[in-house]
């Protein structure tokens, strides 16, 4: 092991070591319940700083099994931010719901380390290891509200279906190895270019990997777990899961297909096109009928996976793919900021035993809690794609990349489904401002700060979005 190897996984190993130490600290710390989340936040802040320091780096480690490039650094910053936001949402929520246990934050750190490894992985075996490292803590976190039956059911469904999807990934990796003689992406590309790869076998392997990660990002028809798991899990876990797991899944898909397998474009393009279109249509249509806000946002997350999937449709077009990757990365950031803000409002209204989660519970919020309602207004408009919000800029860059690639029908589907989404997003605003009610809010300084900062960021970053998109454009995928 060389110093370059250690540098290549420095943010990851920092989180893993920090979480391992926190296990011991928490075991002997029974009185000061605030210490573990505070130290976990410090660990995420350190990882965030290390990730920012790697934004201009370009090298590999462990014999080309992991890569440090603009792509991995950009996503590592997003994952570290997600960890900090998840702690901010969970701290008071866990105390209110009697879930204040230190293991929660330690599991968050292990899951984020898996997400970071996923972004850096350039070997299919490492991709699978990262998938398990990020998923297993999430299975536990989904059932963290035990003995609540909904939480236990969510954990069991997520675990069983996640393990099944992981089997597809493993089988796909095995077929890719059989087709090319290697699991390293750079060697797979070399075998394809040399004409020694069995392209039929490789195609089947790539398709199976696509199935496995289609589950992770909740793309149709692999989305069946999403509504029940989102509804049954503790809401702070749902917020983290909606961002982190989705971003990690797309990190693997983008690096694999855009950087390593563009030669399979002609065969996989129809599948990618249909996955993107069906995911957008299904997620938005089914969300209309939901009366529970957690289920509504679950189907909303499915729809947003469809929008990001549009970037993958261009994976074989060398002239368009870099711009599409940048658009996908920008969209992930816009979705993360908006998502954490929206879930912060949901957490503020949620009561014990799942009360306060119906849309009708938001009646009167505009008059009784105008600041909170204004924040929710910003988040719903951003999800819809209305300016001036990050959601609008995210969809603008995505649709522009798709149109530049000549996929006009797919962009039309995206625009029409965005119009459909306006119905159920704006319905929340109608209930808040035009119906009378007596909503009750469980607020805290940390939760209010998170809600306010994300609402401000949703608007301000949209106005100054060019530097953020330029950074995403510089997040170049490399195989070295």
3-state DSSP assignment of residue 148? coil
Q: Which of 470, 214, 188, 130 is nearest to 333 (CA)?
A: 470
Neighbouring C-beta atoms of residue 266, cutoff 10 Å: 8
Q: What is the DSSP string of 82-99?
A: HHHHHHHHHHHHHHHTT-
Residue 194 has φ and ψ, to the nearest 5°, of: -80, -10
Whether the link from the prior residue into 106 is cis, omega within 30° of 0, is no
Q: Which of 336, 139, 141, 358 is nearest to 234 (CA)?
A: 141
> Could you tell me if residue 480 is inside a domain?
no
pLDDT score of 478: 62
Query: CA dihedral defined by 82, 84, 89, 91, rounded to 10 degrees?
Result: 150
Query: Would the pLDDT of 477 be above 70?
Result: no
356-to-293, 353, 423 alpha-carbon distances in Å: 9, 9, 21
> Could you tell me if residue 479 is inside a domain?
no
Query: Would the pLDDT of 356 be above 90?
Result: no
Residue 480 pLDDT level (bands cut at 50, 70, 90): very low
Question: What is the arithmetic mean of pLDDT over 59-81?
Answer: 89
> Could you tell me if residue 324 is inside a domain?
yes
Q: How many domains does the chain have?
A: 1
> Could you tell me if residue 463 is inside a domain?
yes
pLDDT score of 260: 85
Percent of the chain predicted with pLDDT > 90: 54
Distance between CA atoms of residues 142 and 154, nearest Å: 6
57-to-7, 69, 71, 73, 74 alpha-carbon distances in Å: 10, 6, 10, 8, 11
pLDDT score of 353: 66
Q: Which residue in the block uniquely carries the two structure tokens 């938001």?
A: 362
Question: What is the arithmetic mean of pLDDT over 79-106?
Answer: 89
Distance between CA atoms of residues 465 and 391, nearest Å: 11
Query: CA dihedral defined by 388, 87, 126, 335, rounded to 10 degrees?
Result: -10
pLDDT in tens, 177-202: 999 988 999 999 999 988 888 899 99
CA 55 to chain centre: 20
Query: Would the pLDDT of 206 be above 80?
Result: yes
Lowest mean pLDDT among 117-131, 309-323, 369-383, 438-452: 309-323
> Could you tell me if residue 199 is inside a domain?
yes
Residue 17 has φ and ψ, to the nearest 5°, of: -65, -40
Whether 404 and 52 have beta carbons less than 8 Å apart is answered as no
* H/E run at residue 68: strand 66-68
Residue 25 pLDDT level (bands cut at 50, 70, 90): confident
Q: Which of 423, 395, 424 is nearest to 411 (CA)?
A: 395
CA 59 to chain centre: 25
| Distance, first Cα to last Cα, the chain | 19
> Could you tell me if residue 107 is inside a domain?
yes
* Structure token digits, residue 43: 């660990």
Whether 44 and 83 have beta carbons less than 8 Å apart is answered as yes
Query: Would the pLDDT of 427 be above 90?
Result: yes
Residue 319 pLDDT level (bands cut at 50, 70, 90): low
Q: Which of 383, 307, 308 is nearest to 345 (CA)?
A: 383
Length of the chain as a residue count: 480
Query: What residue numbers bound the domain in which 340 lies?
Result: 3-474
pTM: 0.94
pLDDT in tens, 211-269: 999 998 989 888 888 889 998 889 999 999 999 999 999 999 999 998 888 888 888 88
Q: Which of 386, 282, 295 is nearest to 334 (CA)?
A: 386
Distance between CA atoms of residues 177 and 179, nearest Å: 5
> Could you tell me if residue 384 is inside a domain?
yes
Largest CA distance in the chain: 69
Query: Would the pLDDT of 96 be above 90?
Result: no
């Amino acid at each position: 092991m060389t110093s370059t190897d250690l540098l290549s996984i420095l943010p990851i190993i920092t989180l893993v070591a920090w979480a391992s130490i926190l296990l011991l600290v928490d075991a002997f710390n029974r009185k000061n319940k605030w210490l573990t989340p505070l130290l976990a936040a410090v660990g995420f802040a350190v990882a965030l700083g290390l990730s920012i320091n790697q934004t201009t780096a370009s090298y590999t480690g462990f014999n080309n099994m992991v890569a440090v490039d603009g792509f991995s650094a950009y996503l590592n910053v997003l994952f570290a931010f997600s960890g900090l936001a998840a702690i901010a949402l969970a701290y008071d929520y866990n105390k209110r719901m009697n879930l204040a246990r230190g293991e929660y934050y330690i599991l968050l750190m292990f899951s984020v380390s898996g997400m970071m490894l996923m972004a850096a992985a350039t070997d299919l075996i490492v991709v699978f290891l990262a998938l398990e490292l990020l998923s297993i803590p999430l299975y536990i976190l989904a059932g963290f509200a035990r003995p609540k039956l909904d939480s236990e059911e969510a954990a069991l469904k997520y675990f069983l279906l996640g393990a099944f999807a992981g089997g597809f990934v493993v089988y796909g990796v095995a077929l890719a190895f059989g087709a090319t003689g290697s699991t390293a992406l750079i060697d797979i590309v070399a075998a394809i270019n040399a004409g020694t790869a069995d392209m039929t076998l490789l195609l089947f392997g790539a398709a199976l990997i696509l199935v496995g990660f289609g589950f992770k990002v909740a793309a149709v028809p692999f989305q069946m777990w999403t509504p029940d798991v989102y509804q049954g899990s503790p809401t702070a876990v749902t917020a983290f899961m909606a961002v982190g797991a989705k971003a990690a899944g797309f990190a693997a898909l983008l690096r694999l297909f855009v950087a390593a397998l563009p030669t399979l474009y002609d065969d996989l393009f129809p599948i990618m096109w249909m996955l993107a279109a069906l995911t957008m249509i299904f997620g938005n249509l089914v969300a209309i009928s939901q009366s529970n806000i957690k289920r509504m946002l679950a189907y909303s997350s499915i729809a947003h996976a469809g929008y990001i999937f549009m970037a993958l449709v261009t994976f074989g077009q060398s002239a368009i793919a870099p711009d599409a990757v940048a658009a996908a990365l920008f969209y992930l950031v816009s979705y993360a900021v908006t998502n954490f803000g929206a879930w912060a409002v949901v957490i503020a209204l949620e009561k014990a035993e799942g009360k306060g989660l119906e849309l009708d519970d938001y009646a009167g919020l505009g008059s009784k809690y105008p600041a909170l309602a204004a924040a929710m207004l910003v988040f719903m408009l951003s999800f819809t794609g209305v300016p001036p919000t990050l959601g609008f800029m995210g969809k603008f860059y995505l649709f522009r990349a798709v149109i530049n690639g000549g996929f006009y029908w797919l962009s039309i589907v995206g625009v029409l489904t965005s119009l459909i989404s306006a119905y159920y997003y704006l319905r929340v605003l109608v209930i808040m401002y035009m119906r009378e009610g007596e909503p009750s809010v469980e607020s805290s300084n940390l939760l209010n700060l998170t809600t306010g900062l994300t609402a401000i960021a949703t608007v301000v970053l949209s106005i100054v979005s060019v530097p953020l998109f330029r950074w995403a454009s510089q997040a170049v995928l490399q195989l070295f």
